[in-house]
Structure 1
Amino acid sequence: MKSTFSPFLSSSQIFLSLLILSFLSIPMSAQGAVPTSITLNIGDKTEILSSLDIDHLTHLETNNYPLLRHKSTIENIDFCPTKILFCNFSLSQSRLYSFSLITRRTPDAKAIEDYVSTLANKTKQEPVDAHFSVNENKVVITEKEQIGQTLDQQASIRLISYGLIHAEEMTNNIMLPLIIIEPKIKAEDMDKLGLVELIGEGSTNFKGSTKSRIYNIERALKQFQNLIIAPNEEFSFVEHLGEVDGEHGYLPELVIKNNQTTPEFGGGICQVSSTVFRTAIYSGLKITARRNHAYPVHYYYPYGMDATVYIPKPDLTFINNTPASILMQSTIEGTKLTFHFYGTKDGREVKVDGPHILEHNPDGSMKTVFTQEVNNADGRNFIRDSFWSNYKSPSLFPHPGQEPNLTSKPKDWTEKEWVAYKKIHP
């Protein structure tokens, strides 16, 4: 049989063969120095990046890199002055085309960003405003402010990324920068705030409340004790109330919801909102949002001066239209809850007419109204608002285990049966 093997290869075949051999013969370069751990300093706190953390924040990349030669015709001993085809036969291909497999550790941008974000939340210190209280009708400082701080995330990402790939230049100890957060209210600002005197107060009575309802009232009061409202600021009760659930210290108690009177965390908070509402009225502040309860509740007598709240709506809001800040203080004497607003008097005169009961029906429904009139020191009126309340019958909002009262005679009832029913369920 005649052999088909040819002892001659083309120049391109030889070039390709030698190129492959060149790849196979060059070993992988050693990986650069990798730190076993890195200490991160964040203010007075430290975090340790372990070797596992470092592996998570980086990834390995292996690439082929040509080893280029840049020499003149005099310096280059491999210079071939003739055609490339001749050079391919006369020179070693591994000397003409050298490549190296290099493995590098590079930062994982997304992993580092996520890590720094988590670290920032973990180490953040919120600023604490200075606290004030009232002693013998005089506002005093009870606690000085505390400066807050948060991690400079963008700068920290750059520093950590650099430290991971330049370990040989680092001491494995990285100082991460912080951003200072100043408190809004400082002790030195007390005179500027104008917390000089009592400008108004209002009260409600929670006599007859259950222990859990009283507990919720006292818990909610903590959200508003020593709260400061800046001039021209619109106060939101719901915003300052915060979360209302078992995790935040509230107990289940009766609330009006979905046409029922049913237990829910925070029942009794409206005792606080209604008291704040009355205090804002008597202080001559501008009310911007208020809603009465669905039916008359005896805790808020006289009827017509209550304010129901629920997260997120309805809310109680008003504007501090006085020339100074307002400090909110609350006290409980027996079952009487009172809010006191301290600030600076500007000579305004506040008149409240009512509440007047306009309609009171046998089923407990009623309509009321009262008017707030505020005049400045010159006697000029700048607020005249009427607050209308339309209460439905309590029977429409049954308590647990109760059925709602009928409002019309069933078709299969006699007139006598209907009259008897109305006597029992007015």
Structure 2
Amino acid sequence: MRKFSRIVTFLLAGSLVGLTGCAVQTTKEKEAKAAGHQQSQQEKQVKTEKKKVEKTIYVKIVDPNTKSIIKTIKPKDMGFGTDNDKYNAELAVLTRELARGTKDTPGYDKRMILDKLDANGLLIKGRPQTILDEEELTEKIIQASLKGGKVEIPLYVTASGYKQEEAAQLGQVVVASYTTHFNSGMPGRTKNIELSAKAINNIIIGAGDSFSFNTTVGPSDAEHGYQPAPEALNGKLVDGIGGGICQTSSTLYNAIDKLTVSYIEKHHHSLHVGYVPTGRDATVSYGGKDFRFKNTTGVPLMLKAIVRKGTITVEVRTAKIYLNQVERR
């Protein structure tokens, strides 16, 4: 009996040791499993963070009128964050092309087409000036380059600086004028002067407006009725379509120069022309040299171009109420 009790005691002790061993083993397995799970979670988190870091950032440039995306860029590919000088240089090219256009795509910048009165005194509306602010667009793109998103093109539209109800009165008084002479026996040249004079006649130049001869007159080609006539080219007189329009632009220059306008663009001929004193000419060529000025006289003006036999006169007029306000040289 005593022997049996010892055996039972031994077996119970062995069982307890075995159970204790199982318990220890189970705990270690749990700890190992927990550690493995934690490592797996950490690896997933690292992968997630890596994906966040590697996420491609896009900046989408939006047309403010149509709300459509016209250009999508990847700042990182252009140097953002790694070579910011390169990035700024590329943005300068991009914004300039959007503003001024390329050979294949017109830009957002639009010169003002000035209003004018027709032969019956009715107002013909032109087009306001539109300017894309390149510096502002660049700044907007840079701000969006960190997180991505859409950037709307900043366009600024400027209407002509006069009151439409005063349009008919702007031809009341002459504040400046100039006359030049030409040989009316040259039919081609005479026709070209007449056509270009008609194009600038009754043009309204509001206070602060910019005038462009080429924009106002348009192409001086055969399609628009212009004829062959002598013109100055590279120091020589040659026959060319539209020869004579420079007499119109030069006559305008000498008239408007009596007022305090500021010049944007003006060029001289490559040789002396006989219809104005030396240095008092303003040559033009559609698609090339232009005659441009800004009306800084403080009042709205109207141009009158009158062609008679052998003469062209350009008058600058305004309304009586502005007569004492117009600034002269």
Instruction: Decide which structure has greater strand share.
Output: 1
